[in-house]
Amino acid sequence: MSHYKINELFETLQGEGSFTGQPSIFLRLQGCPVGCSWCDTKHTWEINLDSEVASDVVLNKKAETDEWVDLSPEDMLRIFQSKGFRAKHIVITGGEPCMVDLKPLCELFEQHGFSCQIETSGTFEILVSDDCWVTVSPKVNMRGGYDILSSAMQRANEIKHPIATEQHVDDLKALLKEHDIKSTPIYLQPISQKERATKLAIDTCIENNWRLSVQVHKYIGIE
């Protein structure tokens, strides 16, 4: 039976990309070696075995911590039911969720009427169900030194790229050219909510017929 290290499990609205506004259950997995300098979930990077806790600790978190619980997909389904979650869309994120095989997780959820989406940096092989929606947020030249995999770029249903500078835009264009990406929806997401980064994203989206993702959840103050 597959088990996964879960840092957070909660119901909210998806605030980014194609599913913005969609009621969703978020599963945040522990562990990520990519090392993005602007990461807003650095508490998920390290897997400290001393930080394993009971499920109720994770479910009732009031602050960001590196504590995680080991759960099977069946355990998660029971939690969804016990918590009375009504969302039918599941977002699997991290950390870097593709460090592990997500196919058993996705397939079981889909068998129970849920749709699945993963959010990945594109630096690990993507092992998911055929119907899983894959959001690749490519992390170029990060501290961890991982390359973006061609297989990840080709599997992406959408590409969501964080930007703050022209260099970030140039990196994305080079990546799209390298992997011959032509029809996949492209979202630009300002790394900060600052006016300069947002204006750059807007102008670049208009210039290239791309789309804007503004992390709606941060603007309206939800998790």
Residue positions in the annotated binding site for S-adenosyl-L-methionine? 38-40, 95, 137-139
Residues of the binding site: 13-15, 28, 32, 36, 38-41, 93, 95, 137-139
Annotated binding site for Mg(2+): 41
Contacts of 47 by beta carbon, 8 Å cutoff, 6+ apart: 5, 30, 31, 68
Contact 25, 92 (CB under 8 A): no
Burial of 75 (0-12, 13-18, 19+ CB in 10 A): middle
Q: Which amino acid is at 55?
A: S
Closest-CA residue to 149 (of 170, 171, 175)? 175
Annotated binding site for substrate: which residue ranges?
13-15, 28, 93
Give the Cα separation of 210 and 109 in Å (integer): 31
CA distances for 110 relative to 64, 78, 90, 146, angstroms: 29, 15, 10, 31
- Sequence-ordered alpha helix ranges (H) in 60-187: 73-83, 103-111, 150-155, 166-178
Calpha distance 60→201 (Å, rounded)? 36
Unique residue bearing structure tokens 């599913």 = 19
Residue list for the binding site for [4Fe-4S] cluster: 32, 36, 39
Angle in degrees, CA 210, 114, 81, rounded to 5 = 130
